[in-house]
Amino acid sequence: MSGGRAYVGGSDGWVYSLDVTTPVEVDVTSTTGEIPPGGTVEFTIRLTNVSGAAQDFSALLVFEIPGVRERILSQRDGLHLESGQEIVVSNLSMEVPPSMVPGDYAVTVRVGDLPTDEWDSGGFGFRVVSR
């Protein structure tokens, strides 16, 4: 990979170049590491248009139980960012149910022309521990 492009050799002898850059970057941050059932996960989402053109896109906020399943917590369609513009949503929180089984979990944000074309994703993991 070089300069946001991946180069792949085909069985036909040709070398193909694919654009692997994203027009909108996702950055999700959290200071939550380990929490007990009934605790609160706090996080911030930053979406930045790093392309040279305006972008229209959708975003999904997903709760993941790694290796098991995922649940869409929120979906926003019709988002728009001009070139260089960003959306920052801070002070977000999610309460962990008191009945949550100890283990590893994740929160992920996906952006793109969803559901068919995911441009980028970002997230964080946290661990629910016994009290």
Residue 16 lies in a domain: no
Residue 103 lies in a domain: yes
Q: What local confidence, expressed as pLDDT, does residue 1 receive?
A: 40
Pairing mode of beta strands 15-19, 5-9: antiparallel
Instruction: State residue 82 phi and psi, 5-degree precision.
Output: -75, 165
Q: What local confidence, expressed as pLDDT, does residue 22 receive?
A: 87
Whole-number Cα distances in Å, 60 to 7, 57, 127: 30, 10, 22
pLDDT at position 115 over 90: no
The CATH number covering residue 92 comes to 2.60.40.3880
Q: Lowest-confidence range among 14-18, 20-24, 38-42, 97-101? A: 14-18
What's the pTM? Answer: 0.81
Residue 15 lies in a domain: no
Residue 17 lies in a domain: no
Residue 10 lies in a domain: no
pLDDT at position 3 over 70: no
Residue 45 lies in a domain: yes
Residue 82 lies in a domain: yes
59 or 9, higher pLDDT: 59
- Structural domain count of the chain: 1
Residue 46 lies in a domain: yes
Q: Which residues pair with 2 in a beta bridge?
A: 5
- Is the CB of residue 24 less than 8 Å from the CB of residue 50? yes
Print the domain residue range for 97: 22-128
Listed in order, strand segments (DSSP E) in 5-116 are 5-9, 15-19, 24-30, 34-35, 40-49, 55-65, 69-81, 86-95, 103-113
Per the rule left: phi > 0, alpha: psi between -120 and 50, beta: everything else, 3 is left
